[in-house]
Amino acid sequence: MNPHNLMLIDPHIHMTSRTTDDYQRMREAGIVAIIEPAFWLGQPRTEVGSFKDYFSSLVGWERFRASQFGIKHYCTIGLNSKEANNEALAEQVMELLPLFVCKEGVVGIGEIGYDDQTPAEDRFFRAQLDLAREVGLPVQIHTPHRDKKAGTITSMEVCLEHGIAPHMVIVDHNNEETVRDVLDRGFWAAFTIYPNSKMGNERMVEVVKQYGSERIIVNSSADWGVSDPLSVPKTASLMLEKGISIEDVRKVCYQNALDAFGQSGQMSESDWLTPATVDQREKFSDNSILRGGQTPVVGEIKANNVLESNIVR
Per-residue pLDDT at 290 = 81
Buried b (16+ CB within 10 A) or exposed e, 292-303: eeeebbebebee
CB atoms within 10 A of CB 236: 27
- The string of pLDDT tens digits covering residues 177-188 is 999 999 999 999
Nearest one of 222, 295, 202 to 31, comparing CA atoms: 222
- The string of pLDDT tens digits covering residues 86-119 is 999 999 999 999 999 999 999 999 999 999 999 9
Nearest-angstrom CA–CA distance, 190 and 179: 9
Hey, what domains does the chain have and what are their CATH numbers? 8-273 (3.20.20.140)
Nearest-angstrom CA–CA distance, 237 and 259: 22
208 phi/psi in degrees, rounded to 5: -70, -40
**Mean pLDDT over each residue of the chain, to the nearest integer:** 92
**Residues with Cβ < 8 Å from 168, sequence gap 6 or more?**
132, 137, 138, 139, 263
For residues 266-281, average pLDDT: 88
Per-residue pLDDT at 197 = 64
Which CA distances in Å does 220 have to 121, 230, 243, 286, 312?
24, 7, 22, 31, 34
For residue 305, name the pLDDT band (cuts at 50, 70, 90).
low
Query: How many CA atoms lie less than 13 Å away from 278 in the CB half-sphere?
Result: 29
Cis peptide before 111 (omega within 30 of 0): yes
For residues 241-257, average pLDDT: 97
Per-residue pLDDT at 310 = 44
- Cβ atoms of 53 and 29 closer than 8 Å: no
For residues 52-66, average pLDDT: 96
- Cβ atoms of 37 and 14 closer than 8 Å: yes
- Order of strands, sheet of 31-37, starting from the edge strand that comes earlier in the sequence: 8-10, 31-37, 72-77, 106-113, 139-142, 169-172, 188-192, 216-219
224 phi/psi in degrees, rounded to 5: -80, -5
Q: Inform me whether the pLDDT recorded for 302 exceeds 70.
A: no
Per-residue pLDDT at 313 = 32
- Cβ atoms of 205 and 242 closer than 8 Å: yes
Nearest-angstrom CA–CA distance, 145 and 153: 13
- Cβ atoms of 173 and 166 closer than 8 Å: no
**pLDDT > 90 in the chain, percent:** 78
For residue 295, name the pLDDT band (cuts at 50, 70, 90).
confident
Nearest-angstrom CA–CA distance, 274 and 277: 9
pTM score, whole prediction:
0.93
Q: Inform me whether the pLDDT recorded for 137 exceeds 60.
A: yes
Q: Inform me whether the pLDDT recorded for 309 exceeds 50.
A: no
Of residues 85 and 292, the one with the higher pLDDT is 85
Of residues 310 and 144, the one with the higher pLDDT is 144
Per-residue pLDDT at 132 = 98
